Every structure is written in structure tokens, then in C-alpha cells.
Amino acid sequence: MASTLRPFHLAIPVDNLAVCRMFYREILELPEGRHSDHWVDFDFFGHQLVIHLKEKNTEKPLSNFQKKDAHNLVDGKEVPVPHFGVVLDMDTFQTFSEKLIQKNITFIIEPCVRFKGEVGEQATMFFKDPAGNALEFKAFADLTQLFAK
């Protein structure tokens, strides 16, 4: 189905709104939009990302599905599940990853190229925000590889 790509909206929980707001605004350098005492909108590379204050629930233990330390092995690396992110162009990926390195981001998977020489070759990096949400940023030298089999 051919269509014009529309911005997505993603709302994620954070347990400290002030700390996460600073992370997304100052570390990731995302423009801030509307906000309240409980949420903040960000321009996430043309998409709408909203961080919502959700205090940690200490009464009920998390199920295995809800835990944020799960991972899958992908191209020899432990990829956190769940995660979210955006596909950038290669120049933006390079500039963005260099800025994050300069800001001493602790990477889960450092900027690298995976599936080298294979279908779907891509640059990628993974790290977590202060609330533990895992983010992936990736880029393809050839964007037609995005959904290639």
C-alpha cells in the first residue's frame, strides 16, 4: 500500500519527569513542545514523542514480559526488548552518534554496522534514557534495504 509517511505518536513512561525532560532536551537535543506537570512533548526527528510521569509501582512485581532487561540476540549482539527509535539518514546518524559519544552516553550497543555485506546492512546504536527506556537509532546507506528480505 503506497502512502505518504505520516509522523507517529509514541507515549512512554518515565519515573522522573525533570531528569528525563533534561535528557531528551539537552542530551538528545530534541525540540520541546507542549507540556504539563505530568507530560512533555518532543519533536523526535519529525515524530511526536511524549514522556509521561509514571511513578514506579513498588507494590506489584513485574511479569517477565514487563521487565525492561529482556533481550534478543541479533547479529551477535544482545538487543534490548522492548525498544524504540527512528531510522536516520547516514550523515545524521554519524553526527548524532558523535555528539552522544562526546556527551559520554553509556551505550548498550555502541555505534556500529551490523549485517555488514548482507541484506539489511545498517548502522545502529542502543542506549537507555534515565527511566530505563531503551532507544535504538539506525541508518541505512541504501534505504531500500529497510524492508528487504
- Tens digit of pLDDT for each residue in 50-90? 999 998 766 665 555 455 568 777 877 788 889 999 999 99
Q: Residue 41: what residue type? A: D
Fold annotation for 69-149:
2,3-Dihydroxybiphenyl 1,2-Dioxygenase; domain 1 (3.10.180)
At residue 62, the pLDDT reads 54
Fold annotation for 1-55:
2,3-Dihydroxybiphenyl 1,2-Dioxygenase; domain 1 (3.10.180)
> What residues does each domain of the chain span?
1-55, 69-149
Question: Which of the four pLDDT bands, split at 50, 70 and 90, describes residue 16?
Answer: very high
Q: Say what the pTM is.
A: 0.86
